[in-house]
Structure 1
Amino acid sequence: MTNVIVKWNGKEYNIDIGDSISTVLDFKKAIEQHTNVRPERQKLLNLKLKGKAPDDDVKMSTISLRPGTKIMMMGSLESSVEEAQRIPENLPPVINDLDIPEEEEVAIENREEYLHKIDKRVKEYEIKILNEMRPGKKLLVLDIDYTLFDHRSTAETGAELMRPFLHEFLTASYKHYDIVIWSATSMKWIEEKMKLLGVSSHPDYKIAFYVDSLAMITIETQKYGVIEVKPLGVIWGKYPHYTPQNTIMFDDLRRNFLMNPQNGLKIRAFRQAHQNRDKDRELLRLASYLEDIAQLENMSKLHHSRWERFRDHGYNL
């Protein structure tokens, strides 16, 4: 009998692998008894056979496990999956924001009443640091819905709706950027979504913190009236080592970065995941772009709308 330790959700569980646990599936069922995470939702990161994750019918006796081996698991409870799949009631309306005049952007980001709102958020909005911010790193701020995840489609698992190459993208970006998730929804929705996608517990990168809808402010535009936006000034005000010169934000709605248009990159929305997940390469290409611009001391001079041409034309886009 071999005792191993399964780490999940910040806790450790001791499991004895003996005669009653013959296959990998038996092992997963034993884990379920401790954690209530169903076998099909379990991902055992460092349980390997010849360098690969073993199939459920593989005999545990063929896998070399020393007593006390720690196995990291990713997986969500059914209640968490249901909550993460539920479309929240406070989602902002989807509008066509392609034709907001650029001259209006300039006027908006410098208006005193909006800067006052940002100052108020800096003073009142509380941020819970999840992982240490690293000196010298730039800042990457990411939206969730339609940026990293197709939240409108339905599926049995979150992986089916996750944008392709998400973990590869985050792993590559983490080398040069601290990563922050900012969604126009509730903190509970963000936390459950990140658990569902395996982002919050991935071993190859760390999320610095989450920002939810309470940090957003309302502004008034000539075309659409009053809308909510994500002012990066809230983050810059709380953590001055992040600045307009070293920050970039990805969002599928350009209106979300109207208060900081020079720092926003409008990503192509990821919708209809079942039809598009085999051909979507947006995150792979953007990972290369982030690698290219990480060397720049001042990213605020870039026109991110032309990011696809950066390698060919260089800095002055």
Structure 2
Amino acid sequence: MLQEKTNVLMKRQKLIGLSINGKPASDETPLTHLSKLKNPHRFILMGTPEADIFVDPQDCQELPEVFDDFDLEMAPHSEQWRHAIENSENLARFTETTEVHFIHQPREGKRLLVLDLDHTLLDFSGRSGGTDAGLVADRVSLKRPHMDAFLTAVYAEYDLAVWSQTSWRWLELKLTELGLLYHPAYKISFVLDKTSMFHVTSTDRAGKERRHQVKPLHIIWRKFPHWTEANTYHVDDLGRNFALNPANGIKVKAYYRGRDGATRDDELVHLAHYLLQLAAHSGPPPADHKNWRGWKPQPPLGG
């Protein structure tokens, strides 16, 4: 009843002032025992409504199931790939129903960089939370090392978009709390959430078919033709998310801030260097980005 009236989840409620014989009533105390006390009962409810909580995605019931994708493959131009593209009723429907609202308008001549959030740029697991001091500390520690410097550097050559596998409600909270939507050094052009993802079937290395969600860049390309397969890159820690666009996907190591060596993580430093090399390179781009850490631009023919 209290949860209904206040939007404070039961697990976040702390009731002060309900006591029996001078001792606080426990969760197991029947209300009939309280009826023997003075009526009405006055108490204080401490807790934060759910809409005001900076939510860890792992606490959300609505998040899709995530499985380890290290053994998942979908080869470019395979039968699966052609089937998914040619039988693209889902793709057409998602393109039609997906609304893209620009937070900052695209800049003329810029490439597009689509960025995952959780475990790519940030890690929301293991929050300290609970207190204002804890939340402030979280706002700093949630970010992957060099995140702001990375976004600032690549923004010079790329329009930035965020595509996260969570719902818009939680995504907006994350981006707003962390100041990513209106940062002075870089701008996020638009944001997509899990409602713009749909299911395909891929085969893992063991030959087992797995049904999973993807982030189809075709939705963006069909809506905004100035962005194409030739000038779009998608950065994610889950390779399965770019199963329909394998030539555009750049897979990074997943970031977990609680692991040993997390503060020395320099993945974004190397990624910025790679993306800026791609932007400056006039020769043929790499066929894929599997070996992006060791890629060196080839000189143009006759150069």
**What's the TM-score, normalizing by structure 1?**
0.69
Instruction: Work out which of the residue numbers 39, 53, 62 in structure 2 matches 1:82.
Output: 53
- Structure 2 residue matching 1:84: 3-state secondary structure: coil
After superposition, residues 42-121 of structure 1 pair within 5 angstroms as 82-85=53-56, 87=58, 88-103=60-75, 106-111=78-83, 112=85, 114-121=87-94
The equivalent residue for 2:233 is 248
Instruction: Work out which of the residue numbers 206, 211, 221 in structure 1 matches 2:202.
Output: 221
Q: 1:180 to 1:297 in 2, by over 3 A?
A: farther
1:168 equivalenced with 2:149 (yes/no): yes
Give the drift of 1:239. Answer: 0.6
Counterparts of 1:261 and 1:298, CA distance in 2: 20
CA contact (8 A) 2:73 2:202 kept: no
Deviation per residue, 1:23-57 (Å, 9 max, x gap) = xxxxxxxxxxxxxxxxxxxxxxxxxxxxxxxxxxx
Counterparts of 1:283 and 1:245, CA distance in 2: 22
Give the drift of 1:298. Answer: 8.2
Give the drift of 1:92. Answer: 2.9
Counterparts of 1:294 and 1:306, CA distance in 2: 17
Q: Amino acid of the residue matched to residue 185 of structure 1? A: T
The equivalent residue for 1:282 is 267
- Structure 2 residue matching 1:199: 3-state secondary structure: coil
Instruction: Work out which of the residue numbers 102, 106, 110 in structure 2 matches 1:133.
Output: 106
Deviates further, 307-316 or 249-258: 307-316
The equivalent residue for 1:17 is none
Deviation per residue, 1:60-88 (Å, 9 max, x gap) = xxxxxxxxxxxxxxxxx997772333532
Query: Number of residue pairs matched?
Result: 240
Q: 1:121 to 1:80 in 2, by over 3 A?
A: same
Q: Amino acid of the residue matched to residue 289 of structure 1? A: Y
CA contact (8 A) 2:73 2:240 kept: no
Counterparts of 2:98 and 2:283, CA distance in 1: 28
State the structure with bigger RCO (CA 8 A, min sep 6), 1 or 2.
2
The equivalent residue for 2:277 is 292
Deviates further, 90-99 or 168-177: 90-99
CA contact (8 A) 2:214 2:241 kept: yes
Q: Which has the larger radius of gyration?
A: 2
Give the drift of 1:227. Answer: 0.9
- Structure 1 residue matching 2:263: 3-state secondary structure: coil
Give the drift of 1:275. Answer: 3.7
Give the drift of 1:101. Answer: 3.7
Counterparts of 1:86 and 1:195, CA distance in 2: 15
Q: 1:180 to 1:158 in 2, by over 3 A?
A: same
Counterparts of 1:306 and 1:263, CA distance in 2: 13
CA contact (8 A) 1:114 1:219 kept: no
Q: 1:178 to 1:273 in 2, by over 3 A?
A: farther
Instruction: Work out which of the residue numbers 165, 168, 193 in structure 2 matches 1:187.
Output: 168
Instruction: Work out which of the residue numbers 204, 207, 230 in structure 1 matches 2:215.
Output: 230
The equivalent residue for 1:258 is 243
CA contact (8 A) 1:216 1:231 kept: yes
**What's the TM-score, normalizing by structure 2?**
0.72
CA contact (8 A) 1:262 1:300 kept: no
Counterparts of 2:187 and 2:201, CA distance in 1: 35
CA contact (8 A) 1:139 1:248 kept: yes
Q: 1:300 to 1:123 in 2, by over 3 A?
A: farther
Give the drift of 1:184. Answer: 1.0
Give the drift of 1:104. Answer: 7.5
CA contact (8 A) 1:147 1:268 kept: yes
Counterparts of 2:274 and 2:63, CA distance in 1: 30
Q: 1:259 to 1:100 in 2, by over 3 A?
A: same
Give the drift of 1:103. Answer: 3.8
CA contact (8 A) 2:75 2:246 kept: no
Counterparts of 2:280 and 2:236, CA distance in 1: 22
Give the drift of 1:200. Answer: 1.1
Deviation per residue, 1:262-306 (Å, 9 max, x gap) = 000111000134644321001111011111001246876432111
The equivalent residue for 2:224 is 239
- Structure 2 residue matching 1:170: 3-state secondary structure: helix
Give the drift of 1:143. Answer: 0.5
Counterparts of 2:181 and 2:218, CA distance in 1: 25
Counterparts of 2:49 and 2:300, CA distance in 1: 48
Counterparts of 1:288 and 1:148, CA distance in 2: 16
- Structure 1 residue matching 2:54: 3-state secondary structure: helix
Alpha-carbon RMSD: 2.6
Counterparts of 2:252 and 2:221, CA distance in 1: 22
